[in-house]
Amino acid sequence: MFPEVNDREGYEYPKHGLLQLRGVVPENELVNFKQRDVNGEPALTVLKNGRSSGTTIGSVSSLRSLIRNYKSLVTPFWSRELTIVPYHGARSPFSTRGDSGSIIVDRSGHIVALLTGGGGLTDAVDVTFATPYCQLEKRIKEALPGIRLLD
Residue 86 lies in a domain: yes
Residue 12 lies in a domain: no
Instruction: Say which DSSP state 141 is in.
Output: H
C-alpha dihedral sign at 8, 15, 22, 119: positive
Q: What are the residues facing 36 on neighbouring strands? A: 42
Residue 29 lies in a domain: yes
Residue 51 lies in a domain: yes
Across the chain, mean pLDDT equals 79
Q: What's the confidence (pLDDT) of residue 63? A: 65
Domain that holds residue 25: 19-143
| Least confidently predicted of 70-79, 89-98, 132-141 | 70-79
Q: What's the confidence (pLDDT) of residue 101? A: 92
Per residue in 50-77, pLDDT (tens digit) is: 998 888 889 898 765 556 666 665 556 6
Residue 9 lies in a domain: no
Per residue in 3-58, pLDDT (tens digit) is: 556 666 666 667 777 888 889 999 889 888 888 777 778 889 899 999 988 888 89
Residue 10 lies in a domain: no
Which CATH number covers residue 93?
Answer: 2.40.10.10
pTM value is 0.81
1 has a pLDDT exceeding 60: no
Residue 76 lies in a domain: yes
Residue 59 lies in a domain: yes
Question: Would you say 12 and 20 are in contact if contact means Cβ atoms under 8 Å apart?
Answer: no
Q: Considering its fold, how many domains does the chain have in total?
A: 1
